[in-house]
Amino acid sequence: MAEPPYRGLKVLDLSQGIAGPYCATLLAQQGADVIKAEPLAGDWLRNAGEGREGMSALAIASNLGKRSIALDATKPQGRELLARLAARSDVVLQNYRPGVIERLGLGYETVAAANPNVVYVSVTGFGPDGPDAQKPGTDSIFQSMTGMASRNRDPDGKPRRMPILIPDTVTAVYAAQAVGAALYARARNGKGRHLRLSLFEACAAFQAAPIVESRLFPGEAPPLTVPAGVFRTKDGWLTLSGVTEAHFTGTLRALGLEALIDDFRFATIGPRRKNASMLNEEVARRLAERDTAHWIEKLAAEDALFAPIADYSAFVDSPQAQHLGAFAALDQPPYGELPVARMPGAEHAWPLRPAPRVGEHTDEILRELGLDDAAISGLVAAAAVRIYDRGGGCS
């Protein structure tokens, strides 16, 4: 087994929500020791959606493998603890609006003065400056203003957001990649750096191809493949995509539409795209005549490009997911065993640790900083930190 590449790496996660925390979780899943420093009441994400004890599904997925310290950064004692943690960290990650982290005395210049080798990551909504820099932003806002909702229209032309958190998630992945590149550069030249990423720019990078396409083909872009789409069968749904000529001919043979293969309207890709609606209508009529199992057998025999529409339960339980070990059975308090997706590229033998409750490791982390019982009691009495009581929450 290869050793996790970030083993021994110390990460201080000051961020809340998804983009910053999920980036830190990707580092944790590759061996980093990630300390999540959150307010006394916890990261606001803990109450986003249903969940017990501050453990919503989003909070779990965005904080796997971390240790949590709960403190009040508005108090001098809390800021001093954060400064001490930042001074010993390889990576510091924050996602406050521009100017906020500096007012807390934890901006890049301050942290780098004490820790010049630090890789400091600032994740913002719209970037560090500019006309929109101070605007609030959420997933739905970024999907709306970066073209995603416009691209994802319903049959009546109404723009729609995808019901998954794309801007936050892709920003986290780009940030994790940027951290890896910065650490590689540091290993070569010994220098830290300040990384600045925004959800706005991540949405641009994620949609590079369709944005270029919109300039090449103003208005409605031609379909990439024909036939293509989600089609109703007699008892369910199937997705088809005719990416190659073999997929195109195989699909039509499976559906009993061989006569259309050499039809001048569909024989080559040019006219096929112009007549895509006509061909998709023929495919839809044929698929509606028989049940899904029938068409799966026929399409598979022709090596067509297709898939039945599956929900998450079917995905997790699918033979391929089980064979790959794509999901780990994680003992996640307070729920017990949950299926959690492994990070692609991570070895299965690397430990996958649960997400922490608010302040679950406060006492442990304070002792690592050299604080004794009296000092910790003083911080608790001053309401500067909260100690998690495994028998009944935080104190």
- Taking a C-beta distance cutoff of 8 angstroms, is the pair 22, 367 a contact? no
Same domain, 49 and 134: yes
End residue of a domain, out of 250, 280, 309: 309
CATH assignment of the domain containing 245? 3.30.1540.10
Same domain, 41 and 141: yes
Same domain, 122 and 85: yes
Residue 118 belongs to a domain: yes
CA 100, distance to chain mean position in Å, is 24
CA dihedral 382, 386, 391, 393 (to 10 degrees): 120
| Domain range enclosing 295 | 228-309
Residue 101 belongs to a domain: yes
Number of domains into which the chain is organized: 2
Same domain, 66 and 155: yes
From the number of C-beta atoms within 10 Å of its C-beta (0-12, 13-18, 19+), residue 200 rates as: buried
Same domain, 148 and 76: yes
Same domain, 261 and 187: no
Q: What are phi and psi of 45, to 5 degrees?
A: -65, -20
Q: What is the pLDDT along the chain (395 residues), one digit of tens a residue?
A: 689 999 999 999 999 999 999 999 999 999 999 999 999 999 999 999 889 999 999 999 999 999 999 999 999 999 999 999 999 999 999 999 999 999 999 999 999 999 999 999 999 999 999 999 999 999 999 999 999 999 999 888 899 999 999 999 999 999 999 999 999 999 999 999 999 999 999 999 999 999 999 999 888 777 889 999 999 999 999 999 999 999 999 999 999 999 999 999 999 999 999 999 999 999 999 999 999 999 999 999 999 999 999 999 999 999 999 999 999 999 999 999 999 999 999 999 998 999 999 999 999 999 999 999 999 999 999 999 999 876 555 55
CATH assignment of the domain containing 75? 3.40.50.10540
- Taking a C-beta distance cutoff of 8 angstroms, is the pair 171, 19 a contact? yes
- Looking at residue 392, its pLDDT comes to 53
Same domain, 172 and 243: no
The CA distance from 224 to 240, in Å, is: 12
Same domain, 156 and 25: yes
Same domain, 81 and 168: yes
In 29-124, which residue ranges form alpha helices assigned H by DSSP? 57-62, 76-87, 100-103, 108-114
End residue of a domain, out of 276, 294, 309: 309
Q: Strand 119-124 to strand 91-94: parallel, antiparallel, or no bridges (unpaired)?
A: parallel
Same domain, 242 and 304: yes
- Closest alpha carbon to 262 in 274, 249, 280, 279: 249
Residue 358 belongs to a domain: yes
- Closest alpha carbon to 68 in 28, 103, 9: 28
pTM to 2 decimal places? 0.93
Residue 268 belongs to a domain: yes
Residue 322 belongs to a domain: no
- Looking at residue 347, its pLDDT comes to 92
Same domain, 174 and 68: yes
Residue 179 belongs to a domain: yes
If you ran DSSP here, which 8-state letter would residue 382 be given? T
- Taking a C-beta distance cutoff of 8 angstroms, is the pair 225, 241 a contact? yes
Residue 196 belongs to a domain: yes
> Would you put residue 388 in left (φ > 0), alpha (ψ -120 to 50) or beta?
beta
End residue of a domain, out of 275, 291, 309: 309
